[in-house]
Structure 1
Amino acid sequence: MHKRFTAFVAALAWGLGAAQAQDVYTIGEINSYKAQPAFLEPYKKGMELAVAQVNATGGVGGKKLRLVTRDDNGNPGDAVRAAEELIAREKVDVLMGSFLSHVGLALTDFAQQKKRFFLAAEPLTDKIVWENGNRYTFRLRPSTYMQVAMLVPEAAAMKKKRWAIVYPNYEYGQSAVATFKQLLKAAQPDVEFVAEQAAPLGKVDAGSVVQALADAKPDAIFNVLFAADLAKFVREGNTRGLFAGKGVVSLLSGEPEYLDTLKGEAPEGWIVTGYPWYAIHTPDHEAFLDAYKKRFKDYPRAGSVVGYNAIQSIAAGLKKAGSADTEKLIAAFRGLEVRTPFGPITYRAQDHQSTMGAYVGKTGLYGGKGVMVDFKYMDGAKFQPSDAEVKKLRPAAP
């Protein structure tokens, strides 16, 4: 009797689990939460807000979204192991996430090997959609190429001849520098690159970097450092007067997750990409801002928007596909349109890159905090290579 009862309970539990599985789409998300908390804590909140909103309106085709996250420790091997565990144990329907470019590339390769759909939410390297691109991988955030292309016209307009460069020495930084050199040289043929400092990610020796840049006597500086590396660089540069009289162009440095850390030490007059949440007065953004503040009693960061857009993209793709079948999702995402706080975006069929844009402006100080001023939104669709160029860049991806 006891054995029969146990078997009955087990069967009932299995049946309930199967029924619940049929009523949900499970999203498996992998990211560097411990390694990059400034960006990824707000990112997680953005995801949570989007999941709550989707589920409050009936889910996707009557199915609720369930989000399961894993930490990759900023390590490609850990990310792949997390992806395998999510598929085997959690039976996830969709994979998404990653922040660091080399981790994103590892998951891009995993998606191809396992023939599983993967949305790369945040990593910026162009290889994800070009050289290493594949049919299973799509990318949300504006790429390194796109964000550098947004900054180069401003850099060229400064008419500075001697440029120094500082960047984190891994895939994202290397890619950003190569693109900046290529595009600035095309826009300003007489430009010279007089110094380069490649710092280990998260371990910049700010004193020696600043001294080396100063010794080169540049007219302008292109910076790709971010997070704690950026804060150390800015503080040391301010102390030694590196930035005085020089133009500075800097990727991502207008994002509040990095400006907020600097407080009153935030630089003024840098040309940056970023997110001026406090001064974007469009209906879509104001609706997002109000909902975010109400739920978290805090203001959004750039990561918040990326996390929110990633979940909204997955929901839109599932709705269009009518299922979580990989091939149906791929077909749905090619040309998929998604409404976001930045306005509508589209996932390009030719390279699986979304047209999500970014804001370009200058850094300033207001109330003892760094802000963006004189900014404008740059539509990502206007800063991508032509179809012919994409074919050359993405030769192996069907």
Structure 2
Amino acid sequence: MKCKTIAALAAAFMALGSGGSSAQSPENFTLGGVVPLSGPYALLGTSMQKGAEIAIEERQTVLGVPIRALWEDSETKPQTSVQKANKLLSEGVNMLFGDGASGQTLAIMPVAAQRKTPLIVTTSAADQITGKARNDYTFRTSSLAFAETKMAIEFVRKAGLKSVYGLGVDQPVGRDTWATMKAGLEGMGVAVAGEDFAPIGNQDYSIIIDKIAKSGADGLFVTMTGADTITFLKQAGQVKLNDRVPIFGTGFLDDDAANAVGPDVVGVNTVARYHFSYDTPENKAFVEAYRKKYNEWPNAYAGHAYDGLKWFFDVVDKTGSWDTEAWVAAFKTSEHPGSVFGPRKMRACDNQAIGVGLWAEAVTGGDPYPPLMLKVTDTFPPDNLYPACPN
């Protein structure tokens, strides 16, 4: 036992000496997951965890040692996210993964940077994450609000909408997205009929729904997710709001939420951050593995978690080094030919992944698919979807 302890300490000092910022284990490559497993965004966290587990089981090892995952529940609270991230870092994890909501992700980004530990973001979409709040150690392998809003603006153009009401979650992603959307609408000469922001976990949208119905808008743009999406669309369905004001948004709806809402969801349009039907060999293999393990169809949070972690594991393994600075440098300029979305690459200027964008409509499914599901209706190439690199 004494010899093993000395060997472990020696390995840790060697890792630190080579530039690594956290104590490295000679026995495992350890992922520290900070995700919401309870609270309004629990669906996000549990799905992210499932997608991550498929990526871990598929690869099994990184740098010649088994991958181990330690999970902490952020409870959809920024302060808790920070506490849990610090707890995991004190336990010597090699990387952080999370969070589900942008507010929580922005809270743990400085923690990861201070400890020089890579943070892989696969769900949070606030522009700030790879914008003004960016740091060298945070990488987003999923989409950002700016790109998703560009797709929503194209929907407005095609649908010929003349006035749009905005509803967002009162979080950075909600306000970032609506600000970009509003500027785009005004640039096209589309009137803004009104706007509202609701807190995470809001249970009563009746006043907001009444305002939307009376606003004269011929479109409703929504930015929220998880339980908030379900609550809002259920209440909107009770008054058939979608029949009067077409509802669309940026990644606020997936198959799980659609089935929780029920038939009134049919016709709602959304950015599809991922979809199990997307036709690539890599996605088909992932969907098969996911269904075999969980007996359900993967949603966007699971799909992006799998894809982002698979990408990072591949890059780290190719460095052949336990130096975290080597991982960061390699990931900044990496490409992901094996993505479920087709080829993708990382922008070194802001650590933001770029790739295709998907737009979808909620439709009635059929065996073997869920009773209600998203159908991809448009695919956007990455050109012109992303903001210019920051100075």
TM-score, normalised with respect to structure 1: 0.87
Find the aligned partners of 1:54 and 1:353 in 2 and give their Cα distance: 23
Q: Which residue identity lines up with residue 311 of structure 1 in the other structure?
A: L
Query: Does the C-alpha gap of structure 1 residues 349 and 63 become closer, same or farther in structure 2, counting only changes over 3 Å?
Result: same
1:32 corresponds to which residue? 36
Q: Which residue identity lines up with residue 326 of structure 2 in the other structure?
A: K
Q: Which residue identity lines up with residue 358 of structure 2 in the other structure?
A: Y
- Tell me how many residue pairs correspond in the alignment: 373
Once the 2 structures are TM-superposed, how far is the Cα of residue 204 of structure 1 from its aligned partner?
4.2
Is the 1:160–1:220 contact (alpha carbons within 8 Å) kept by the matching residues of 2? yes
Find the aligned partners of 1:200 and 1:185 in 2 and give their Cα distance: 26
Once the 2 structures are TM-superposed, how far is the Cα of residue 181 of structure 1 from its aligned partner?
0.9
Query: Does the C-alpha gap of structure 1 residues 344 and 180 become closer, same or farther in structure 2, counting only changes over 3 Å?
Result: same
2:232 corresponds to which residue? 233
SS in 2 for 1:243: helix
1:125 corresponds to which residue? 126
1:121-158 superposed Cα distances (whole Å, 9 cap, x missing partner): 22111101111111121111101111111221111222
Within-5 A mapping of 1:134-153: 134-153=135-154
Q: Which residue identity lines up with residue 327 of structure 2 in the other structure?
A: L
2:341 corresponds to which residue? 342
2:378 corresponds to which residue? 376
Find the aligned partners of 1:180 and 1:332 in 2 and give their Cα distance: 34
1:181 aligns with 2:182: yes
Q: Which residue identity lines up with residue 102 of structure 2 in the other structure?
A: S
Once the 2 structures are TM-superposed, how far is the Cα of residue 375 of structure 1 from its aligned partner?
1.7
SS in 1 for 2:354: coil
1:299 aligns with 2:297: yes
1:14 aligns with 2:14: no
SS in 2 for 1:68: strand
Deviates more, 1:12-21 or 1:68-77: 12-21
1:43 corresponds to which residue? 48
Q: Which residue identity lines up with residue 33 of structure 1 in the other structure?
A: L
1:85 corresponds to which residue? 87
Within-5 A mapping of 1:46-85: 46-55=51-60, 59-85=61-87
SS in 2 for 1:343: coil
Q: Which residue identity lines up with residue 125 of structure 1 in the other structure?
A: A
1:169 corresponds to which residue? 170
Find the aligned partners of 2:253 and 2:200 in 1 and give their Cα distance: 19
Find the aligned partners of 2:261 and 2:6 in 1 and give their Cα distance: 54
Query: Does the C-alpha gap of structure 1 residues 371 and 37 become closer, same or farther in structure 2, counting only changes over 3 Å?
Result: same
Q: Rg: which structure is higher?
A: 1
Q: Percent identity?
A: 22
Find the aligned partners of 1:17 and 1:52 in 2 and give their Cα distance: 25
What's the C-alpha RMSD, in Å, of the aligned pairs?
2.2
Within-5 A mapping of 1:183-202: 183-186=184-187, 188=188, 190-202=189-201
2:15 corresponds to which residue? none
Query: Does the C-alpha gap of structure 1 residues 93 and 345 become closer, same or farther in structure 2, counting only changes over 3 Å?
Result: same
Once the 2 structures are TM-superposed, how far is the Cα of residue 17 of structure 1 from its aligned partner?
5.9
1:323 corresponds to which residue? 321
1:270-297 superposed Cα distances (whole Å, 9 cap, x missing partner): 2211267453332111111111112222
Find the aligned partners of 1:142 and 1:154 in 2 and give their Cα distance: 18
Find the aligned partners of 2:237 and 2:98 in 1 and give their Cα distance: 35
Is the 2:274–2:304 contact (alpha carbons within 8 Å) kept by the matching residues of 1? no
Deviates more, 1:232-241 or 1:163-172: 232-241
Give ranges in structure 1 of 5+ residues lacking alignment: 1-8, 392-398
Give ranges in structure 2 of 5+ residues lacking alignment: 12-23
Query: Does the C-alpha gap of structure 1 residues 176 and 290 become closer, same or farther in structure 2, counting only changes over 3 Å?
Result: same
Is the 1:355–1:379 contact (alpha carbons within 8 Å) kept by the matching residues of 2? no
Once the 2 structures are TM-superposed, how far is the Cα of residue 40 of structure 1 from its aligned partner?
2.1
Once the 2 structures are TM-superposed, how far is the Cα of residue 50 of structure 1 from its aligned partner?
0.7
